[in-house]
């Protein structure tokens, strides 16, 4: 367990980042129980639109499908309840029923069994288990989330984001494909999050970003299942035009860096929102998706939100080196800087809490 007192606590042990058994425990006890961002409403905005996906494709790999039923988004298993065939492979519109192409079993857009040929002689059929399994769906602004077995209240996850930046017209931000990228990082998913959760390294790793932000005024705030790093601008950099109702009114804020347990980062800049989704592939390999949603194009390429690709490459280099370092037989664990690594400590305590939680 990680000590709750940061002044005496030690970090996760080095073996945490390379142990295959620990990685499997992470997947089942953390990711299977947490909320995952799937897509935005634009991808499923018409009645009967179906959006198939695999939840954590490289690990859990659960075939699911989102369906728009009169504006309400539902999530179902995309596995036929007859013989396990995958029902929907590509984004489509469900005109009438969902039909399995293997033996013709059919379901309506609400996942209910409708028809199957050659059922004469079958007893106790149909039953509830012939319907598609339904998962919980939640929506924040235009973003759609689901979870296999959520143990965190969705409202608890987003309440502090909403309180802090809800004044922005986030639901009108437009997805920009050209600014959105995908990276493969040769490091453990948690190590990538560790790096994100502290501004301690900025003067040493990100020279350009350091010239924009005031390192001495960098702030970290801890919430229940999320935390926030506030980037204060140095001199006359592009900042938010904060409304008077904002608790930060009067401050020169260049960026809000929100992290939501376990693997979602919402980076708000004056130009809009950059979402980072950190997806584990293996003990030492991670996929990181950058999804950009633009609010004000005139502010792109300026301030703290400029050249995110360069910042990412700098982060990748150091994180991949640290992955090699924590695998050393001579490395055991480290200590937390109480002023600069509160976010990392918070992350480690949550990991410890989840993996030690009894089923």
CB 352, CB 1: distance < 8 Å: yes
Total domain count for the chain?
A: 2
Tell whether 275 is covered by a domain: yes
Same domain, residue pair 176 and 112: no
**What CATH number is associated with residue 300?**
3.90.380.10
Q: Domain boundary residue among 109, 139, 169? A: 139
pLDDT < 70 regions, the chain: 359
- If one counts every other C-beta atom within 10 angstroms of the C-beta of residue 103, the result is 13
Tell whether 148 is covered by a domain: no
Tell whether 266 is covered by a domain: yes
Same domain, residue pair 234 and 281: yes
Which pLDDT score is estimated for 28?
Answer: 96
Tell whether 6 is covered by a domain: no
Q: Domain boundary residue among 139, 173, 199? A: 139
Find the domain containing 326 and state its range.
158-355
The gap from C-alpha 190 to its chain's centroid, in whole angstroms, comes to 12
Same domain, residue pair 210 and 243: yes
Which pLDDT score is estimated for 107?
Answer: 98
Which pLDDT score is estimated for 359?
Answer: 62
- φ/ψ of residue 50, rounded to 5: -125, 130
Residue among 294, 349, 334, 290 nearest 316 (CA): 290
Which pLDDT score is estimated for 158?
Answer: 97
Q: Please, how many CA atoms are within 13 Å of residue 259, restricted to the half-sphere of its CB?
A: 25
For the entire predicted model, the pTM comes to 0.96
Tell whether 17 is covered by a domain: no
| Rounded Cα gap, residues 17 and 30, in angstroms | 15
Report, in angstroms and rounded to the nearest whole number, the Rg of the chain calculated over CA atoms. 22
């Amino acid at each position: 367990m990680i000590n709750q007192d940061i002044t005496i606590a030690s970090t996760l042990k080095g073996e945490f980042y390379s142990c295959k058994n620990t990685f499997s425990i992470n997947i089942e006890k953390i990711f299977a129980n947490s909320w995952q961002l799937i897509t935005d409403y634009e991808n499923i905005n018409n009645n009967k639109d179906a959006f198939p996906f695999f939840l954590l494709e490289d690990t859990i790999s659960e075939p699911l499908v989102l369906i728009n039923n009169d504006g309400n988004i539902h999530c179902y298993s995309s596995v036929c309840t007859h013989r396990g065939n995958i029902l929907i492979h590509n984004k489509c519109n469900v005109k009438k029923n969902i039909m399995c192409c293997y033996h013709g079993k059919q379901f309506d857009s609400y996942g209910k069994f409708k028809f199957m040929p050659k059922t004469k002689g079958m007893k106790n059929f149909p039953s509830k288990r012939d319907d598609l399994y339904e998962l919980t769906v939640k929506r924040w602004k235009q973003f759609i989330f689901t979870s296999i077995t959520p143990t965190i209240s969705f409202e608890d996850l987003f309440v502090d984001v909403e309180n802090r930046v809800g004044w922005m017209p986030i639901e009108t931000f437009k997805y920009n494909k050209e600014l959105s990228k995908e990276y493969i990082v040769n490091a453990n998913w948690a190590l990538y999050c560790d790096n994100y959760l502290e501004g301690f390294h900025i003067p040493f790793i990100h020279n350009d970003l350091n010239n924009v932000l005031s390192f001495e005024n960098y702030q970290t705030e801890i919430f229940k299942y999320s935390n926030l790093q506030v980037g204060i601008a140095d001199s006359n950099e592009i900042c938010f035009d904060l409304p008077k109702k904002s608790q930060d009114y009067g401050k020169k804020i260049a960026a809000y860096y929100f992290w939501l347990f376990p693997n979602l980062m919402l980076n708000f800049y004056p130009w809009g929102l950059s979402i980072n989704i950190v997806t584990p592939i293996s003990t030492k390999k991670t996929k990181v998706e950058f999804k950009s949603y633009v609010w004000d194009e005139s502010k792109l390429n300026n301030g703290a939100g400029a050249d995110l690709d360069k910042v990412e490459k700098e982060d990748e280099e150091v994180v991949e080196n640290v992955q090699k370092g924590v695998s050393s037989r001579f490395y055991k664990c480290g200590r937390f800087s109480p002023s600069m690594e509160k976010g990392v400590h918070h992350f480690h305590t949550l990991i410890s809490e989840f993996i030690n939680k009894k089923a």
